């Protein structure tokens, strides 16, 4: 499972700059609304959508950046401690994968709630 995630994220490396640009645009627009514009003005309605866009872009960047570095499975010719270290690293990435899935579900839930507003 984790090897398929690595292959998938290696194919999506071209999304990193797009996610960073989108995060910068959302962050600057949210800053504009909060600092220069008034939240009670007509721009205040876009603040939640801007924050959700920022959350989606940061989540996409973190997903692509993190899971591209998953180590390959240890071969039998490695010593015990090296195989054990690789297994611990892969377990850490599996834990991070489930954390990423949970965060994605929370942002998805927030996005659906925002559509009702």
Query: In the chain, where are the structural domains located?
Result: 2-115
Q: Do 47 and 105 form a contact (C-beta atoms < 8 A)?
A: no
CA atoms within 13 A on the CB side of 77: 0
Give the pLDDT confidence score for residue 14 in this predicted structure: 92
**Which value, in Å, is the radius of gyration of the alpha carbons in the chain?**
19
Average pLDDT score, the chain:
86
Average pLDDT in the 4-10 region? Answer: 86
Question: Looking at residue 87, what is its pLDDT?
Answer: 87
pLDDT digits (tens, 9 = 90+) for 62-79: 999 988 888 888 777 888
Dihedral through CA 78, CA 71, CA 100, CA 15, nearest 10? -170
Which pTM value belongs to this model? 0.80
Instruction: Label residue 40 by pLDDT band (50, 70, 90).
Output: low
Q: Which residue has the tokens 């054990």?
A: 84
Task: Give the span between the Cα atoms of 103 and 84, in whole angstroms.
Answer: 29
Q: How confident is the model at residue 39 (pLDDT cuts 50, 70, 90)?
A: low
Q: Which of 56, 60, 53, 46 is nearest to 26 (CA)?
A: 53
Instruction: Identify whether the C-beta of residue 62 lies closer than 8 Å to the C-beta of residue 100.
Output: yes
């Amino acid at each position: 499972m984790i090897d398929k995630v690595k292959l998938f994220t290696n194919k999506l490396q071209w999304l990193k700059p797009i996610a960073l640009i989108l995060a910068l645009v959302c962050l600057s627009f949210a800053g504009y609304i909060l600092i220069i514009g008034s939240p009670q003005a007509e721009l205040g309605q876009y603040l939640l959508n801007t924050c959700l866009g920022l959350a989606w872009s940061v989540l996409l960047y973190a997903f692509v950046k993190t899971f591209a570095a998953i180590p390959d499975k240890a071969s039998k010719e490695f010593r015990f401690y090296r195989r054990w270290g690789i297994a611990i690293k892969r377990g850490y990435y599996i834990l991070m994968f489930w954390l990423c899935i949970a965060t994605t579900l929370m942002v998805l839930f927030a996005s659906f709630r925002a559509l009702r507003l």
